[in-house]
């Protein structure tokens, strides 16, 4: 199985901008693009293969065809024909809503869905860009409801100044908000369940406010999340994988390439997703070669055992697997 590319699913949002079009070098693109769903099996938004002999196949169709050869034996036993991860680019031209995601148990009870644990890798950040992740002080459910009602809820939340290359971990239950001027790669469980708590009282072009889920969110919030552990510290090393996050949901590493390196997946029982954030490189597996450029993502089947990544200049990639 060759490295699979997919047609990006571009989504216009009330807070979107033009950085995704710029990253992907899309001329005359849609305005206000807030998200590009790179690899998705969310119902109604299934990724379609854009290259090679499987061009035109949806991701769910590929899984049904290839089963564990595509996703790995353990993943196929756990998830069947459902792909477990969703990868996006997000451009916050304006603040996103303050929100929280339910865990797997609550999401399954309410929505027959996985929950949403996620991470962010900051691609670009304006000088004053910030984000919110977790509480700055202890509050209880009663205070939560009162503060949401009087508009002071953000006073109890922890804010971070962000810069390019920052990494943040957002487990289900952690209140969060991507702030204006921030562009990220988001890796998450395959779920589209979001509980909006506060949306800065804004209205859409038709004068309507977006639906809030204050009561539902109360059951999903981790009110003990006050340790300030959202930001992940790491040091890049040229031509070596640097692990950023290892969780039960996914593992993510970053590569800074200045030449060629070999990746051995012989002992890995999982697909691998590569996301290029800077530069470009070639993915060679002995039989095929595929170029991945900034703003592109590829899926390597679990049957892929060894690849070589070759960059003639400098390139940065994220590597994700379950």
pLDDT digits (tens, 9 = 90+) for 182-234: 999 999 999 999 999 999 988 877 888 899 999 999 999 999 999 889 999 99
pLDDT recorded at residue 275:
98
pLDDT recorded at residue 29:
87
Question: Would you say the CATH fold of 242-321 matches that of 9-232?
Answer: yes
Report how far residue 31's alpha carbon sits from residue 46's, in angstroms, rounded to the nearest whole number. 22
How high is the mean pLDDT of the chain? 97
- Band of the pLDDT at 181, cuts 50, 70, 90? very high
Burial class (CB in 10 A: 0-12, 13-18, 19+), 183: buried
DSSP string, 250-282: -EEEEEEESSEEEEE-TT--S-EEEEEEESEEE
pLDDT recorded at residue 227:
86
pLDDT recorded at residue 144:
98
Q: Which listed residue (137, 196, 210, 293) is catalytic? A: 196
Largest CA distance in the chain: 62
* DSSP-based three-state secondary structure for 219: helix
pLDDT at 180 over 80: yes
Fold of the domain built from segment(s) 242-321: Jelly Rolls (2.60.120)
* DSSP-based three-state secondary structure for 233: coil
pLDDT recorded at residue 28:
85
Is the domain defined by 9-232 classed in CATH 2.60.120.10? yes
pLDDT recorded at residue 177:
98
- Contact status, residue 96 vs residue 153, Cβ threshold 8 Å: no
pLDDT recorded at residue 286:
84
pLDDT digits (tens, 9 = 90+) for 2-48: 999 999 999 999 999 999 999 999 988 899 999 999 999 999 999 99
pLDDT digits (tens, 9 = 90+) for 279-304: 999 999 988 999 999 999 999 999 99
Per-domain residue ranges of the chain:
9-232, 242-321
Mean of the pLDDT values across residues 243-262? Answer: 97
User: Which H or E run contains 273?
Assistant: strand 272-278
Burial class (CB in 10 A: 0-12, 13-18, 19+), 144: buried
Q: Is 202 a catalytic residue?
A: no
User: Which H or E run contains 46?
Assistant: strand 45-46
pLDDT digits (tens, 9 = 90+) for 257-281: 999 999 999 999 999 999 999 999 9
């Amino acid at each position: 199985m060759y490295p699979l590319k997919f047609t990006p699913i571009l989504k216009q949002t009330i807070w979107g901008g033009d950085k995704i079009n710029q990253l992907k070098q899309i001329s005359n693109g849609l305005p206000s693009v807030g998200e590009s769903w790179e690899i998705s099996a969310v119902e109604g938004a299934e990724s379609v293969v854009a290259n090679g002999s499987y061009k035109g196949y949806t991701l769910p169709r590929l899984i049904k065809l290839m089963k564990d050869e595509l996703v790995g034996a353990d993943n196929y036993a756990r998830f069947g024909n459902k792909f477990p991860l969703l990868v996006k680019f997000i451009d916050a031209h304006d603040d996103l809503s303050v929100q929280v995601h339910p865990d797997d148990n609550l999401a399954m009870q309410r929505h027959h869905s996985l929950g949403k644990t996620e991470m962010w890798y900051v691609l670009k950040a304006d000088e004053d860009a910030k984000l919110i992740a977790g509480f700055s002080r202890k509050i209880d459910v009663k205070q939560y409801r009162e503060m949401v009602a009087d508009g002071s809820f953000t006073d109890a939340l922890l804010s971070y100044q962000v810069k390019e290359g920052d990494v943040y971990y957002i487990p289900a239950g952690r209140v969060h908000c991507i702030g204006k001027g921030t562009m990220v790669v988001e890796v998450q469980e395959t779920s589209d369940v979001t509980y909006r708590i506060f949306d800065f009282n804004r209205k859409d072009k038709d004068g309507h406010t977006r639906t809030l889920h204050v009561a539902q969110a109360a059951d999903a919030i981790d009110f003990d999340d006050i340790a300030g552990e959202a930001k992940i510290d790491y040091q890049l090393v040229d031509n070596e994988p640097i692990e950023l996050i290892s969780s039960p949901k996914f593992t993510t590493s970053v590569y800074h390439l200045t030449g060629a390196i070999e990746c051995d997946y012989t002992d890995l029982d999982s697909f691998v997703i590569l996301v290029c954030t800077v530069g470009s490189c070639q993915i060679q597996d002995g039989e095929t070669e595929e170029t991945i450029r900034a703003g592109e993502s590829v899926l390597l089947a679990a049957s892929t055992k060894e690849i070589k990544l070759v960059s003639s200049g400098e390139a940065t990639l994220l590597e994700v697997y379950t």
